[in-house]
Structure 1
Amino acid sequence: MAKQFDSIEAPHKRFIEDQHIYFVGSAAREGRVNVSPKGMDSLRIMGPNRIVWLNLTGSGNETAGHLRDVNRMTLMWCSFTTRPLILRCYGTAETVHPRDAGWDDLYALFDDHAGARQIYDMTVDLVQTSCGYAVPFFDNPRERDTLTKWSDDKGADGIAAYWEEKNRSTIDGADTGLFE
């Protein structure tokens, strides 16, 4: 049932843009594998083999730490509505921090967000679709504003303090590169 493609084709792009949630998978050579749900307006398809996504401040920062060791990444979308489908993009990714030269151009693709932490620039080398027949239906998807309110309330100094306390290293102790 699975089909593989060398790049993101037009139907894949439409499917991705229709989804309200996506999942990011990453792992270092040692330690835990991380899978994290993402939402909001935080992802852009830049071409048939390139995706960028804005990472907002959260409770952990696993992806950043993992990519410092092994730069592989998987993104996954699944339909919770009428069309059963799972789509995965496999590839490698680079972390772009606000201090990096490419940040301004990439960040301009997104709405401003007080909790913006990194942007991941992914090169896709394989797209795979599968049936999704066992994925349940979910109705009434809508954005939560909790993270935006939390980030706005913290402000720049509060976000920096939070990064220092909670986002400096992965749960396995790897440095996430936030403070270089």
Structure 2
Amino acid sequence: MVHYYESLPEDLREWALQQKVFFTASAPLRGRHVNVSPKGLLDATFHIFDPNHAAYMDSAGTGIEMISHVYENKRITLMFCSLDEKPRIMRLFCTGTVIQRTDPKFPGLIESMGKKEFPGIRAVIMLDILKVQTSCGYGVPLLERVNYSEHLGERSENRKCYKDRPTLEKMLGTIVKKGKLDPFLQESNARSIDGLLGLREARKMRGEWLFAYDVGAWVRRQLFQGPAITFGVFIGFFLCSYGIAILTHIVDLTLKMYTMTARV
């Protein structure tokens, strides 16, 4: 059964924080690419402030799709799914705000989340939760505990098949130590696949005039609404040309109906 909530109930909040992975989905207003990304390390990066506000810490990566989409249209959806005995899928439909590591609010935000800054972090994504959806999750695979004793003897025990992967933290730590984080951001985080503006910090490093590019992006978004603008211009022209005549006709009809009613 599908259930909808206007905010995140306490039991779903606790359940979400117990999961090992969640996924983010975002898309541009125009373009061919819809982005979906897995996110782990919830204990270190994800925080729920209250039933309608959450945030997660976003590390540097080889793409900037989600941040570009949030800059453009603010739409972002998070999905959690259970891999244990009690199936469930939960989606958080949100609008997002990007708080870069260079933002003066960044240190205080990390502290309010109760987290610690880690090497390679590029931003915190603030989430305004608009709607919560849960569904059965019956089609999601079950993660079993497997007993390998028959193969390994006494050295084995029941184990889950996953654990937090330290690779990302090690990789980013190495990049930071070598002083290569800024060039990495410039190369990989300035534009999305569809050419949308990426991380403002990366663009600034490349010497871009941010204001001019931001205005240009805004103008392009307006022009993309071409059919709506054309229709609006047509309606405006029609009203200017015939609006007074139509209004006069309506008033005349109203007066005639009133006069006929009064006579009766």
Aligned-partner SS, 1:63: helix
Question: CA shift at 1:101, angstroms?
Answer: 2.7
Letter in 2 for 1:105: G
Q: Normalising by structure 2, what TM-score?
A: 0.66
The amino acid that maps onto 2:183 is: A
Matching residue within 101, 106, 113 for 2:118? 113
**Contact 2:102–2:201 (CA under 8 A) maintained in structure 1:** no
Q: How does 1:9-24 map to 2 (within 5 A)?
A: 9-24=9-24
Letter matched to residue 178 of structure 1: E
Uncovered stretches (5+) of structure 1, i.e. residues with no partner: none
Number of equivalent positions: 180
Q: Equivalent residue for 1:122?
A: 127
- Counterpart mapping for 1:38-57 below 5 A: 38-40=39-41, 41-57=44-60
* Higher RCO, 1 vs 2 (CA within 8 Å, ≥6 residues apart): 1
Distance 1:111 1:99 in 2: 16
Deviation string, structure 1 residues 70-111 (Cα, Å, up to 9, x no partner): 001100000011110000000201000012232111222322
Which of residues 67, 73, 77 in structure 1 aligns to 2:76?
73
- TM-score, scaled relative to structure 1: 0.95
Aligned to 1:83: 86
The CA deviation string for residues 37-90 of structure 1, in whole angstroms up to 9 with x for no partner, is 001121100100001100011121111111111001100000011110000000
Contact 1:20 1:141 in 2 (8 A): no
Residue 84 of structure 2: SS of its match in structure 1?
coil
Give matches, 1:1-180, under 5 Å: 1-31=1-31, 32-40=33-41, 41-108=44-111, 109=113, 110-138=115-143, 139-155=160-176, 157-176=179-198, 177-179=200-202, 180=204
| Structure number having the greater strand percentage | 1
RMSD: 1.2
Q: 5+ unaligned residues in a row in structure 2: which ranges?
A: 144-159, 205-264
CA distance in 2, matches of 1:101, 1:63: 22
After the TM superposition, which segments of 4 or more aligned residues of structure 1 sit over 6 Å from their partners? none
Give the residue type in structure 2 aligned to 1:6: E
Q: Specify the structure having the higher radius of gyration (Cα).
A: 2
- In the TM superposition, what whole-angstrom CA distance separates every residue of 1:17-46 from its partner, at most 9, and x where no partner exists? 110000001111012111100011211001
Of 102-111 and 69-78, more deviation after overlay is shown by: 102-111
The answer to whether the 8 Å contact 2:24/2:76 transfers is: yes
Bigger proportion of residues as helix: 2
